[in-house]
């Protein structure tokens, strides 16, 4: 699993990497720039005209370094440096000198400029602000972001779209990136559905930040990747049989919502249990037996929804909730399952709705931690 670290921890991670690796901060910045450019040159060819929009902090330093490296790769570049209220960082100044030495075209923006300043660029690289932003942008920064968003160009954000808060909901202007190239680890803001329209397609590039620090860093947020479930999949022997791989139970479906039960059952079978039972109301018996004949069906006493709890001792894991409904009888039976069950459980859909809406529900399952090492 990938850790999602808060901005304060990321700042400490940068500092620790610099200290332990005996590397200057400008050299770490150069490493980040090269990682970004390696991704960029694979994505966009040299016929594209590039505009790099920089602030005067370290994110702007990244932008200047990237502009210089893209220039060396033969791309047609222009650089805009937005001069607002932020002081110039040391690494920004160093990369600004390097960019001037490389004879890059650098344009300073200190106030409201022509709305069409980016009109001749095919791609805009956003290097205004990084993940340390703590308040909404205004003034010349807000104006430049408005112009960037109006431009008919592909927008690529360095580390995080400018104006986006990394750890919390955002207000104010934000660059609407088509792509975001994040350094080392994703940001929590990438996981918020309301931010999809500004983050776009995001990817991570490795810039060599200290792995030991990341391993020891504490966080409440993780991103599950495709390789993580593979670590806990049970290896299969040539002579194994269905009884070796457990017996799963799905409690799902109600009148008019049997599609959810079918999808849950089909997904469960694909995950690899040896046996699968599906508990459905009477109205769903023929439906589940027809749609998922490889599953065994148990039938509730009620015609339309879940009301009674079958014997649970023979099952290895339970999935409960899809299409279940929220009738009073269902809530009571659901509570009985939670009280009786002490093994792994997946709660989804109406199962979550019931948990959220029924404050009187007792016997909620305790959080369990499972070892996911191979």
The confidence score (pLDDT) of residue 232 equals 79
Percent of the chain predicted with pLDDT > 90: 85
Q: Span 234-357: which CATH code?
A: 3.40.1190.20
Q: Higher confidence at residue 231 or residue 279?
A: 279
Show Cβ contacts of residue 348 under 8 Å, excluding neighbours closer than 6 positions.
264, 319, 320, 321, 322
- C-alpha–C-alpha distance, residues 117 and 253, integer Å: 57
pLDDT in tens, 24-51: 999 999 999 999 999 999 999 999 999 9
Distance CA 374, CA 372 (A): 6
pLDDT tens digits along 186-222: 999 999 999 999 999 999 999 999 999 999 999 999 9
In whole numbers, what is the pLDDT of the chain averaged over residues? 93
Local confidence band at 308 (pLDDT 50, 70, 90 cut-offs) = very high
Q: What is the mean pLDDT of residues 110-117?
A: 81
Give the Cβ contact number of residue 105 at 10 Å.
Answer: 12
The mean pLDDT of 51-75, rounded to a whole number, is 97
Lowest mean pLDDT among 72-86, 97-111, 261-275, 348-362: 348-362
pTM, entire model = 0.81
Among the four given CATH numbers 1.10.10.60, 2.60.40.1260, 3.90.1570.10, 3.40.50.10260, the one describing domain 2-228: 3.40.50.10260
Is residue 75 pLDDT above 80, yes or no? yes
Q: Are 2-228 and 234-357 in the same CATH fold? A: no
Give the helix, strand, coil percentages of the chain, each rounded to 5.
40, 15, 45
3-state secondary structure of 66: helix
Handedness of CA 337, 343, 348, 352 (dihedral sign): positive
Question: What are the tens digits of pLDDT across the range 237-296?
Answer: 999 999 999 999 999 999 999 999 999 999 999 988 999 999 999 999 999 999 999 999
- Break the chain into its structural domains and give their ranges: 2-228, 234-357
pLDDT digits (tens, 9 = 90+) for 125-158: 999 999 989 899 999 999 999 999 999 999 999 9
């Amino acid at each position: 699993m990938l850790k999602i670290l808060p901005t304060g921890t990321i700042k400490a991670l940068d500092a620790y990497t610099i200290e332990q690796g005996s590397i200057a901060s400008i050299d770490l910045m150069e490493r980040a720039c090269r990682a970004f450019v390696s991704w960029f040159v694979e994505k966009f060819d040299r016929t594209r005209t590039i505009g790099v929009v920089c602030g005067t902090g370290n994110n702007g330093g990244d932008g200047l370094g990237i502009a210089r490296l893209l220039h060396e790769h033969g791309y047609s570049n222009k650089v805009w440096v937005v001069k607002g209220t932020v002081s110039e960082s040391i690494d920004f100044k160093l990369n600004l000198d390097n960019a001037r030495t490389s004879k890059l075209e650098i344009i300073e923006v200190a106030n409201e400029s022509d709305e069409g300043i980016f009109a001749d660029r095919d791609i805009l690289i956003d290097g205004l602000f990084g993940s340390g932003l703590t308040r909404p942008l205004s003034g010349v920064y807000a104006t430049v972001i408005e112009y960037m968003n109006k431009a008919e160009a592909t927008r690529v954000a360095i580390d995080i779209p400018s104006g986006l808060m990394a750890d919390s909901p955002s207000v104010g202007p934000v660059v609407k990136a088509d792509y975001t190239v994040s350094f080392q680890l994703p940001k929590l803001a990438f996981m918020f559905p309301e931010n999809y329209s500004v983050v776009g397609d995001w990817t991570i590039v490795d810039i060599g930040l200290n792995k030991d620090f990341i391993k020891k860093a504490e966080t409440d947020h993780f991103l599950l990747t495709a390789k993580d479930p593979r670590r806990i999949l049970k290896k299969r022997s040539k002579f194994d049989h269905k009884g070796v791989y457990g017996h799963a139970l799905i409690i799902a479906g109600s009148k008019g919502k049997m599609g959810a039960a079918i999808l849950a059952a089909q997904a469960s079978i694909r995950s690899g249990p040896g046996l699968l039972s599906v508990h459905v109301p009477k109205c769903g018996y023929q439906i589940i037996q027809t749609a998922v004949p490889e599953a065994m069906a148990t039938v509730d006493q009620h015609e339309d929804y879940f009301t009674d709890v079958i014997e649970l001792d023979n099952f290895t894991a339970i999935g409960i909730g899809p299409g279940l409904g929220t009738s009073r009888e269902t809530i009571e039976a659901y509570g009985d399952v939670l009280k009786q069950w002490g093994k792994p459980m997946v709660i989804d859909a109406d199962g979550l709705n019931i948990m959220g809406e029924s404050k009187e529900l007792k016997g909620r399952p305790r959080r369990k931690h499972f070892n996911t090492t191979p």
